[in-house]
A = this chain, B = another copy of it.
Amino acid sequence: MTTYRAPLDDILFAARLAAGASAFEAGGILADLGDGLLEATLNEAAKFAEERLASCYRDGDRIGAIFADGAVTTPPGWKEAYAEWVKGGWNALKADPAYGGLGLPRLLNAACTEIWQGANAAFAICPLLSQSAMEALERAASEELKKTYLAKMVRGEWGATMNLTEPQAGSDLALTRVKARPQADGSYRLFGQKIFITYGEHDLTENIVHLVLARLPDAPPGTQGISLFLAPKFIADSQGRFTRRNDLRCAGIEHKLGIRGSPTCTMAYGDGDGAVAYLVGEENKGLATMFAMMNDARLAVGLQGVGIAERATQQALAYARERLQGRTPESDAPAPILAHPDVKRMALTMTAQTHAARAICYETAASLDRARRQRDPARASEAQRRADLLTPVAKAFSTDIGHEVASLGVQIFGGIGYIEETGAAQVMRDARIAPIYEGTNGIQAIDLVTRKLQRTGSALAREIEDMRAIAAEARFDGASALVDAVADFERTSRFMLKAAPALALAGATPYLRLFALARGGTLLAKGAAQGEARRIAIARFFARNLAVASSGLAREAMEGGAAVIEAEAALHA
């Protein structure tokens, strides 16, 4: 009953809309995707995802990752799928050509990421994190580290992980305690425990490269004293063969609500002499490297939300078209439940939310490409600031709707949706992690109202200008709701820019949602302006049924903060 088809038409439409059609022409910043390469690559990605990844999605959950004697066995079929993944070169898409990467645009990688995540999120989170680790090494590692490790990672022959969390240090990395001791040879030894390490141990690759946040003996306290290290599972012997086990191990994996095929590991470093590790970047600057790279991972997790939402929507729509229950005013025979307005409303909500989140994520990815490929430095920096501004919205909104859409999917299935064999429940369980990891969605909202609004200069004003122009030109019925939403967003943005910190923090989450409604709704309207009936219907539904929440969100963000701050009494039982 569970299946997934990559929605290539929608993906191509969103990609072209985000980049602008001329970007793909000769001389355009995405010219390397021109001449049909974008389409051909996505076709191949779809084929691989549908045939190799989607087919082992159910067993990934049913059987899950299994831990025994320090080793992790991935679910049936995953090892074979991963080998094909490497063979297909999918791991290298956006990586640096100097280390074997293809150097292709972020936008292409974003579209592919959505497809992998839609087909099998628990599988796809493995390369997602490898790509983040690659990004960190590209940015900050020494040439030697890059030569030894990066090329293997780019091909996907070696896996990689991000080791941030410790029991006492989750969202608050300042509390990191894992210790790094410098050695005479310039290397380090790591001691301590990390938890919630995604794919910290597995059988997909012959080696695993761990990036680990740790503290040097003389490090200043807090976030200014955290360094980033690379510690491979196997280290080189005297002949340079990576056969010697490092002093690090997986101590266990978690029993999770969802993405059960993805091993979430407790990692123990330095049971003995310490895990051999190498510094990435400068001492005590680990967090900066991590955060610079994290924007990328956050967009990728947003795309996980989109992919999962798409899967849930496909599944619920297929069921709603075939399941006959109840009569409509038009006919006396049992009708497909999709004919009932309330079910249709749910299906449309799923569809419209998914399209809006996709549009925001692709817009962010296209901005990252402009930032890297635009020749004019002023425009490149402008694009980078836009990507910075949009990233928390892309991550939080897409993963919030990922779970909401998946839950609506369960609702459309009704009683059978609550039965695990149907698959709708698995999608919902899988979806629930994305609003939590890579920075909780609350932290995304805080990042937006503190750092991003303050540090991206005129990016916000330009964003609002763009939304306003689209809303003003939209011609479908109900487009006035978009004009209202943009006006609500503008008013609330002005409030947020000068609000006392506590009030801004209290209103951050409704503000982010308001941003997403205004941005998502106007991007759908921009697409609708091309005249396709389907896209007009989706944009109209979004405006009339979802963007209309803007006035309430504006009030909540601006007036509700006081009720949060002063509400101490409410929480005393």
Interface residues, chain A, with chain B CB atoms under 8 Å away: 7, 9, 165, 168-172, 174-175, 196, 254-258, 317, 324-326, 329, 334, 337-338, 340-348, 351-352, 403, 407, 410-411, 414-421, 425, 428-429, 432-433, 435-437, 440-442, 445-446, 477-478, 481, 501-502, 505-506, 508-510, 533-534, 536-538, 540-541, 543-546, 548-553, 555-556, 559-573
Contacts and interface: CB of A to CB of B under 8 A. Distances in A.
A341 B175 contact: no
B411 A565 contact: no
Contact of A196 (B168, B170, B415, B538): B415
A418 B433 contact: yes
B478 A342 contact: no
Ordered nearest first, which 8 A-B pairs have the shortest CB separation? A537-B570, A341-B506, A545-B560, A172-B325, A549-B552, A342-B442, A341-B505, A548-B555
A340 to B, nearest CB: 7
Contact of A346 (B442, B543, B548, B561): B442
A325 B439 CA distance: 13
Given A172-B324, A340-B442, A346-B442, 4 more contacts: A344-B567, A345-B506, A540-B567, A541-B567
A551 B432 CA distance: 29
23 contacts: A170-B414, A171-B337, A172-B326, A174-B326, A196-B415, A257-B420, A257-B429, A329-B502, A341-B506, A342-B508, A347-B571, A348-B563, A348-B564, A410-B436, A428-B432, A478-B562, A510-B545, A536-B569, A537-B567, A543-B563, A549-B552, A549-B556, A551-B551
A438 to B, nearest CB: 11
B571 A338 contact: yes
B429 A537 contact: no
B555 A421 contact: no
Contact of A317 (B7, B343, B571): B571
A415 B403 contact: no
A565 B342 CA distance: 10
A326 to B, nearest CB: 5
A545 B563 contact: yes
Nearest to A426: B257
A564 B548 contact: no
Contacts of A255: 419-421
B411 A407 contact: no
A410 B432 contact: yes
A563 B544 contact: yes
Nearest to A403: B407
A257 B380 CA distance: 48
Of A326, A337, A546, A555, chain B has the most CB atoms within 10 Å of the CB of A555
A565 B341 contact: yes
Contact of A533 (B175, B329, B555, B569): B569
A433 B257 CA distance: 16
A433 B419 CA distance: 10
B556 A570 contact: no
B534 A569 contact: yes
A536 B171 CA distance: 32
Contact of A175 (B9, B325, B417, B553): B325
